[in-house]
Amino acid sequence: MKNQKDLIDRALSGDPFPGLPQGHFIDGTFCAAAAGRSMESLDPGRAEAFAAFARGDAADVDAAVASARQAFETQWRDMPAAERGRLLQRVAELIRENAERLAVVECLDSGKPIGEARGDIQGAARAFEYYAGACDKLQGDTFPIGPAYLGYSLQEPVGVAAQIIPWNFPISTAARGIAPALAAGCTVVAKPAEQTPFTALLLAEILKEAGLPDGVCNVVTGTGAEAGAPLAAHDGIDHITFTGSVASGTAVMKAAAENVTRVVLELGGKSPVIVLGDCDREAALDGVMGAIFENAGQICSAGSRLIVERSLHDGFVEALCRRTEKLTLGHGLRDPQLGPVNSAEQLARIAGFIERARERGIEVATGGAETTDPETGKGWFFQPTIAAADSPNDELVQEEIFGPVLTVQIAEDPEHALTLANNSQYALVAGVYTGNFAHAHRMAQRLDAGQIYINEYFAGGIEVPFGGNKKSGFGREKGLEGLLSYCRTKAVAARI
């Protein structure tokens, strides 16, 4: 484990991190931006730059799409599915072999605690493993159109799939989109977030090492306006998977509409965690803490609205505050319980929500202020925060904050809890803690969300379809349904 410690010490020293790719990954090689520009990625735990990367634009997107198109038509589409599966399985192995380096880079780039980053790397490997096994199980159907006919369908790859990736789960989101796209026979152009470009580039390098042909997976880095927008508007792509904010997702959908390009949108969330009086209290306390403080609350599916039944409320919220005040804060590489938030803009946004809430007379039970890494006095940190929220339509309850801020609402009974939970413009996930099996599954039927967690928040894995309703978007990633996003049905009817 000496290497691991050296890697972490080196990264913590603030020296430039060695061996990071600096260019786009296009047609199997790293290359500078066509316009020669670059930009810096910042380490949120120190609020300082740690590495530079290519600042791409439409010319780089054109080159990447051309390469992906060529690879689709000449190599990947027609490769036997079992062979594609073997290559993706090798990718999973290589991710695991490179796990520690990937985790350190993810931690530096995003700020998240290294323990969480390690989990994300394993999750990325698992995504490739899962879809590797699915490559040769994509089947069509037959249709009973009478003895004089033969009717059948084929599942064809859609073509070139764009992946527009956010900064909160860089490698996880890249893997959960790239793996099924490749499994289905599509080729890819990925655009990671400008805050967190590096693990997507390292993943592209791993794909090449695993033996994927050049051009099958390309990565263009840069800003949303300069690189993301031309990719979304490109008439050479056939599908877009976008994960990010509602505003950017709307812009992507409008751009896609011009070319009638298919989209899957995974947007914001303001997900409820319902805690009923008959639950296992300790499990619920653990679950609520993880739901909102993992990744400093910067998770689309964070459980940011606690809805607790009155009979349990007082003691439960007190216990929650006590636990919250004991959370350790620090640079992600020291593996604290709470890392920094990703950027100065994000920190200012979170602080703005709390400031306005206080002005409206909302009681902040704990936390509520900006802070820094206690060891270095640096970084973009926000104290883990819990606030009472009596008005169900208050901004604090309705808007996605994307930070470590939990609101607490009191429910008189399960029916009231359900009403409060569904009172949102978002509908991504919802959690329920109860010891009553019938309550749990009745709630699961009536909660408006794409995924329901019962007695363990964030339960599930790559096998379980994920995506939202309402303003949380549409389409599903993960699971076999995620694979079908990258397929189109061709039906054949023949007179015989």
Q: Is 165 in the site for ligand ADP (CB under 6 A)?
A: yes
Residue closer to ligand ADP by CB (options 227, 329) is 227
Q: Is 234 in the site for ligand ADP (CB under 6 A)?
A: no
DSSP 376-422: TS-S-EE--EEEE---TTSHHHHS---SSEEEEEEESSHHHHHHHHH
Phi and psi angles of residue 444, each rounded to the nearest 5 degrees, phi first: -60, -35
Give 209's contacts (C-beta < 8 A, 6+ positions apart).
94
Among 135, 171, 203, 229, binds ligand ADP (CB under 6 A): 229
Among 71, 87, 107, 193, binds ligand ADP (CB under 6 A): 193
Among 21, 23, 166, 473, binds ligand ADP (CB under 6 A): 166
Q: Is 245 in the site for ligand ADP (CB under 6 A)?
A: yes
Give 6's contacts (C-beta < 8 A, 6+ positions apart).
none
Q: Which residues are catalytic?
A: 266, 300
Is there a contact between 242 and 265 (Cβ–Cβ < 8 Å)? Answer: yes
Tokens 């609020």 belong to 47
- Please report how close the Cβ of residue 194 comes to ligand ADP at its closest, in angstroms: 5
Is there a contact between 323 and 284 (Cβ–Cβ < 8 Å)? Answer: no
Is there a contact between 381 and 370 (Cβ–Cβ < 8 Å)? Answer: yes
Tokens 């965690």 belong to 273
Partnered with residue 271 across adjacent β-strands are: 303
Smallest Cα–Cα separation from 373: which of 342, 343, 338, 401?
A: 338
Question: Which structure tokens are listed for 131?
Answer: 């879809």
Q: Is 448 in the site for ligand ADP (CB under 6 A)?
A: no
- Please report how close the Cβ of residue 405 comes to ligand ADP at its closest, in angstroms: 16
Q: With contacts defined by CB under 6 A, how many residues of the chain interact with ligand ADP? A: 16
Residue closer to ligand ADP by CB (options 98, 199) is 199
Residue closer to ligand ADP by CB (options 309, 400) is 400
Among 109, 120, 129, 194, binds ligand ADP (CB under 6 A): 194
Alpha helices in 219-309 (DSSP H): 229-232, 246-259, 281-293
Residue closer to ligand ADP by CB (options 245, 366) is 245
Contacts (CB under 6 A) with ligand ADP, residues 247-266: 248, 251-252
Q: Is 228 in the site for ligand ADP (CB under 6 A)?
A: yes
Rounded to whole angstroms, how far apart are CA atoms 464 and 451?
Answer: 9
Among 232, 264, 389, 483, binds ligand ADP (CB under 6 A): 232
Residue closer to ligand ADP by CB (options 111, 414) is 111
Residue closer to ligand ADP by CB (options 247, 493) is 247
Binding site for ligand ADP (CB under 6 A): 164-166, 191, 193-194, 223-224, 228-229, 232, 244-245, 248, 251-252
